[in-house]
A and B are shown apart, each in its own frame.
Chain A
């Protein structure tokens, strides 16, 4: 019998080998997925469908109210979309143009700069399949996939027997963790865990570059030079190296310049790639879709056919400066995920929340539309963390509309 595999949209890995057992559109069993993936696919949905001012309404009323909020705003913010399909994202970009909106996503305060550098070919990268088949030196830098992307090490980066790595991790792969805390991933890396102090990443990069150039590596926090020299030696010997760059690294750098320098020397001495540890299943897709349309990966403001870009159009700065006067939030919960000192300003403007689950943001929204869970109850396409395109079909049917269907209707009504 032919097997039916599904894609899990629980994180940026988009695992495509998931099997499920379902009955009457309820998923009873999920095989192959991790703990997070199983929870994601079996998530029970609330009863609520459409709310305006926290009162149940029909779809048409909710859509009409959402459209009127957007029409009446001078500078609405459209934010979220990391857990939406490409199709939904492209519609959201159109809607932003039509409503002269500020448009941003979570990459604005996480891995956006890295994805931008990759899209502009400033860093060498590769696919997860390349890594499974060829990688011999794997660095997790400020990243803990054992918690954030649970099947990363087992399916792709460390444990599998790849086509050119038949002896596997025991003999042919070295996993290295550079972090400020001994994460679950760092534990797996054993002696190759390099613990640095908070904010110590730039200095560590400089010391590593020194060691790679045959100089004595120095840090103000006295990291043992011998250990850095040992690390440099391992990296120099890499036939197919990869750095998985996580938030821990990005948050500790002022800009990406040290990463560019490190990648340059690593590719003079050996062969190294960089892959960003994208969390939301289609954050990278948002960056790519917006880049194709505007040349920017996030933080844009549309105005009469023109597009402006800059930190002032980021979700954080525009909420802080109160330059936006309404918000359409799609598949995101900024009242939980942003600093409260910033997100509290959302309480002063009308908010439309389009989300498959009730959140702090949806509870404080003027309009709430409960949509299908993207990837479980509705299909489409997305970009995996390494840039690979993945398409998926819904696993079960639902009465809830997809965010794509809702955006289409709002678009027609504005």
Chain B
């Protein structure tokens, strides 16, 4: 019997920092509904140790979840030399915006670059489609 299937997939809490990427920008200008834009946007760059803890490898999909929503994106290794466990990076896009809170303290400025969420393996689930 496969006891592994009874164990819940490892889950970690992360802070997501969003950023801009020239290749992603170019892909958006060319076609914001296209595959290239999705492939360059719906990604999460993690510390290798976090990938390991999630028992996934680069290229696998992960579920990002918080009280605002749930999205499936592709996990990647960040490639930064300095370790950054618990912090992950994601290009700013409609995908990251699905997890941004409407809590602004009345300032009119959402915390676009400061997102908290949990990550778990998506076990092969496909990347979230861009629609309402």
Contacts and interface: CB of A to CB of B under 8 A. Distances in A.
B85 interface: no
B20 A338 contact: no
A360 interface: yes
Contacts of B132: 335, 344, 347, 360, 364
B87 A198 contact: yes
A40 B29 contact: yes
Contacts of B68: 339-341
B26 A339 contact: no
Interface stretch (B2-10, B55-63, B101-109, B118-126): B101-109
Contacts of A333: 32
Nearest to A334: B97
Nearest to B24: A147
Interface residues of A, dominant DSSP: helix
Given A147-B25, A198-B15, A339-B97, A182 B109 contact: no
Interface residues of A, number: 51
Contacts of A335: 94, 132
A195 B23 CA distance: 24
A109 interface: yes
A337 interface: yes
Interface in B42-91: 68-69, 80-82, 87, 89
A339 B102 contact: yes
Contacts of A198: 15, 17, 87, 113-114
Interface residues of B, dominant DSSP: loop
Interface in B24-48: 25-26, 29-30, 32-33
A331 B89 CA distance: 28
Nearest to B106: A311
Contacts of B102: 316, 320, 339, 341-342
Categorize the interface residue count of chain B.
35 or more
Closest 9 CB pairs of A and B: A314-B108, A339-B100, A341-B102, A336-B94, A39-B29, A311-B108, A147-B22, A39-B26, A340-B98
Contacts, number: 121
B130 interface: yes
A285 to B, nearest CB: 20
Interface in A207-247: 247
Contact of B19 (A40, A183, A358): A183
Given A40-B29, A359-B32, A360-B94, A339 B110 contact: yes
Contacts of B22: 34-36, 146-148, 150, 184
Contacts of A359: 32
A364 B130 CA distance: 13
Contacts of B93: 336
A341 B17 contact: no
B132 to A, nearest CB: 6
Contact of B97 (A40, A320, A338): A338
A311 B100 contact: no
A71 to B, nearest CB: 27
B73 to A, nearest CB: 15
A180 B112 CA distance: 15
A164 to B, nearest CB: 30
Nearest to A246: B20
A151 to B, nearest CB: 11
Nearest to B107: A311
Nearest to A38: B26
26 contacts: A35-B22, A36-B26, A108-B109, A109-B112, A144-B19, A144-B20, A147-B19, A181-B89, A182-B81, A182-B82, A184-B22, A198-B87, A198-B114, A199-B114, A247-B112, A247-B113, A251-B111, A314-B108, A317-B106, A336-B93, A339-B100, A339-B110, A340-B68, A340-B69, A341-B101, A341-B102
